Amino acid sequence: MPFLMIRNDITKVQADAIVNPANTDLLEGSGTSRAIYEAAGEEKLIKACRKIGHCGFGEAVITPGFGLPAKYIIHAAGPVWMGGRHGEEEVLYQSYWNSMKLASEYHLESIAFPLLSSGNYGYPKDKALKTAVHAISDFLMEEEMLVYLVLFDREALAVGKKLSASVKAYIDDHYVEVKNEAYRDADAFFEYQVRRSVSYVAEAPVNDGARAPAQAMASPFPMGQAAPQVSKRHLDALMHRKNETFSQMLLRLIDERGFKDAYVYKKANVDRRHFSKIRNDTEYAPNKKTVLAFAIALELSMDETKDLLMRAGFAFSCCSKFDVIICYFIENGMYDIFEINEMLFAYGQPVLGE
Same domain, 42 and 125: yes
User: Is residue 301, in this structure, part of any structural domain at all?
Assistant: yes
DSSP characters over 14-35: -SSEEEEE--TT----STHHHH
Alpha carbon dihedral 225, 321, 290, 108, in 10-degree steps, equals 150
User: Is residue 336, in this structure, part of any structural domain at all?
Assistant: yes
Same domain, 151 and 9: yes
**Cα 195 to chain centroid, rounded:** 32
User: Is residue 352, in this structure, part of any structural domain at all?
Assistant: no
Same domain, 317 and 168: yes
pLDDT tens digits, the chain, 354 residues: what are they? 589 988 889 999 999 999 999 999 999 999 999 999 999 999 999 999 999 999 999 999 999 999 999 999 999 999 999 999 999 999 999 999 999 999 999 999 999 999 999 988 999 988 998 899 999 999 999 999 999 999 876 655 555 566 778 888 888 888 876 544 444 454 554 444 444 443 333 333 333 333 333 333 333 334 444 434 444 445 555 555 668 999 999 999 999 999 999 999 999 999 999 999 999 999 999 999 999 999 999 999 999 999 999 999 999 998 899 999 999 999 999 999 988 998 898 888 999 986
Alpha-carbon distance values, 100 to 79, 249, 298, 354 (Å): 17, 34, 27, 19
Strands laid side by side in the 3-6 sheet: 3-6, 146-150, 110-113, 17-21, 72-76, 60-64
CATH number of the structural domain spanning residue 255: 1.10.260
Q: 125, 158, 191 — which closes off a domain?
A: 158
User: Is residue 190, in this structure, part of any structural domain at all?
Assistant: no
SS3 assignment, position 62: strand
Q: According to the 3-state scheme, what is the secondary structure of 96-109?
A: HHHHHHHHHHCCCC
Q: Of the candidates 79, 78, 67, which has an alpha carbon nearest to the alpha carbon of residue 35?
A: 67
Same domain, 65 and 169: no
What is the count of structural domains for the chain?
2
Angle between helices 321-331 and 337-346 in degrees, nearest 10: 150
Same domain, 169 and 314: yes
Same domain, 314 and 168: yes
User: Is residue 211, in this structure, part of any structural domain at all?
Assistant: no
Same domain, 127 and 171: no
Same domain, 30 and 144: yes
Same domain, 89 and 236: no
DSSP code of residue 352? S
Assess contact for 32 and 149: CB atoms under 8 A.
no
Helix (H) or strand (E) holding 169: helix 161-174
Q: 158, 189, 205 — which closes off a domain?
A: 158
Same domain, 168 and 146: no
Please give the model's pTM, rounded to 2 decimal places: 0.75
CATH number of the structural domain spanning residue 128: 3.40.220.10
- Which domain covers residue 45, as residue numbers? 3-158
Q: Cα(268)–Cα(253) distance, rounded to whole angstroms?
A: 14
Q: 123, 158, 193 — which closes off a domain?
A: 158
Assess contact for 68 and 109: CB atoms under 8 A.
no
Q: Cα(202)–Cα(184) distance, rounded to whole angstroms?
A: 28
